[in-house]
C-alpha cells in the first residue's frame, strides 16, 4: 500500500477495516490486535496493533499507540510509534511524541511534540512486549487509571518533574548532542599517544572511528534524539 493510498482511505471507504469504533463508543483500557482499526469514537489507555490504526476526523485517542502504520485525521494525545509510517492528515490534531521511520504531515495538521525517525530499538520493543505480557497475566481490569502506567519512554524525553518541557528545550538538547562529538577527537589523540603504534591501540581507534562515521547520520535523521554516545 502506498502512502497516498492510505491517506485517501482515511477519509473514504470504512468497509475495509474489520474493527470499527463508532462515534458514541468509548473504550478505556488496553487494546491489542492484528487487524486494522478505524476509530470514530474515543479510545483511552494503550493500543498495540500489528496493523493500521485509522483515527477518523471525529475520533479521539488518549493513549500511547504502537502500530504498524498510523493514519490520523482526528485527535491523538499520547506518544505514537509506528513500525512503518505515521500520516497526519490536514485535520489531524496530535500532542505527543512521534516515532516512525516515515512521517507525513499534511498542511493544516496540528502537531506538538518530538519526532524521531529512527526505527524502534529492538530491546525496547522486547521490554515493552515483556511488560505487556506481565500485565496481561493474573490481573483483571479494575479502572482506567490503573490501566495506564506511564510508559518509561515518556518519562525519558517528554517530561520533567511530571511536566512536559517547553519547546525551547530542544536547543539545549542539541548542545548536549554536539558536545561529545566535538570532544571526541581529543580523546582519540590521547589514546593514540598512550598506546603508541601497538596493534591494540589501532583496533581501539578503528572502533572509535567507525562510531564517528556513524554519528552524523544518526543526528541528521532524528534531530533531537540523544542516542549511544
Partner 1 sequence: MSSTVIGSSILIDGEITGEEHLVVRGTVKGRIQVRDTLVIEDGGLVEATVDAASITVQGTLRGDVAASERAELRPSSTVVGDIRAPRILIADGASFKGNVDMGG
Instruction: Please state whether beta strands 75-77 and 85-88 pair in parallel, antiparallel, or not at all (unpaired).
Output: unpaired
Q: Does 20 bind partner 1 (CB under 8 A)?
A: yes
Binding residue for partner 1, selected from 3, 11, 19, 223, defined by CB under 8 A: 19
Q: Does 57 bind partner 1 (CB under 8 A)?
A: no
| Distance in angstroms (rounded) separating the CA atoms of residues 56 and 164 | 26
Q: Does 77 bind partner 1 (CB under 8 A)?
A: no
Binding residue for partner 1, selected from 32, 159, 170, 210, defined by CB under 8 A: 32
Rounded least distance, CB 101 to partner 1, Å? 24
Q: Does 45 bind partner 1 (CB under 8 A)?
A: yes
Enter the C-alpha cell of residue 114. 518530538
Task: Using the structure block, give the residue that is written with the C-alpha cell 516515532.
Answer: 99
Rounded least distance, CB 36 to partner 1, Å? 8
Binding residue for partner 1, selected from 25, 155, 170, 190, defined by CB under 8 A: 25
Binding residue for partner 1, selected from 23, 134, 167, 206, defined by CB under 8 A: 23
Q: Does 14 bind partner 1 (CB under 8 A)?
A: yes
Site residues, partner 1 (CB under 8 A): 14, 17-35, 37, 41, 45, 136, 140-141, 144, 147
Amino acid at each position: 500500500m502506498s502512502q497516498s493510498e492510505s491517506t485517501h482511505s482515511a477519509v473514504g471507504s470504512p468497509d475495509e477495516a474489520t474493527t470499527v469504533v463508532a462515534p458514541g463508543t468509548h473504550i478505556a483500557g488496553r487494546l491489542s490486535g492484528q487487524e486494522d482499526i478505524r476509530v470514530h469514537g474515543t479510545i483511552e489507555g494503550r493500543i498495540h496493533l500489528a496493523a493500521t490504526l485509522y483515527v477518523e476526523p471525529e475520533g479521539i485517542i488518549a493513549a500511547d499507540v504502537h502500530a504498524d502504520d498510523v493514519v490520523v485525521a482526528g485527535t491523538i494525545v499520547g506518544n505514537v510509534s509506528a513500525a512503518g509510517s505515521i500520516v497526519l492528515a490536514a485535520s489531524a490534531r496530535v500532542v505527543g511524541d512521534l516515532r516512525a521511520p516515515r512521517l507525513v504531515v499534511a498542511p493544516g495538521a496540528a502537531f506538538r511534540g518530538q519526532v524521531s525517525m529512527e526505527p524502534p530499538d529492538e530491546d525496547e520493543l522486547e521490554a515493552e512486549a515483556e511488560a505487556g505480557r506481565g500485565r496481561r497475566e493474573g490481573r483483571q481490569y479494575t479502572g482506567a487509571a490503573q490501566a495506564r502506567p506511564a510508559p518509561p519512554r515518556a518519562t525519558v524525553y517528554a517530561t520533567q518533574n511530571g511536566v512536559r518541557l517547553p519547546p525551547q528545550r530542544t536547543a539545549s538538547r542539541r548542545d548536549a548532542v554536539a558536545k561529545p562529538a566535538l570532544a571526541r577527537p581529543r580523546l582519540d589523540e590521547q589514546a593514540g599517544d598512550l598506546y603508541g603504534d601497538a596493534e591494540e591501540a589501532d583496533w581501539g581507534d578503528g572502533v572509535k572511528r567507525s562510531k564517528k562515521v556513524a554519528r552524523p547520520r544518526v543526528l541528521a535523521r532524528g534531530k533531537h534524539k540523544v542516542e549511544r554516545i
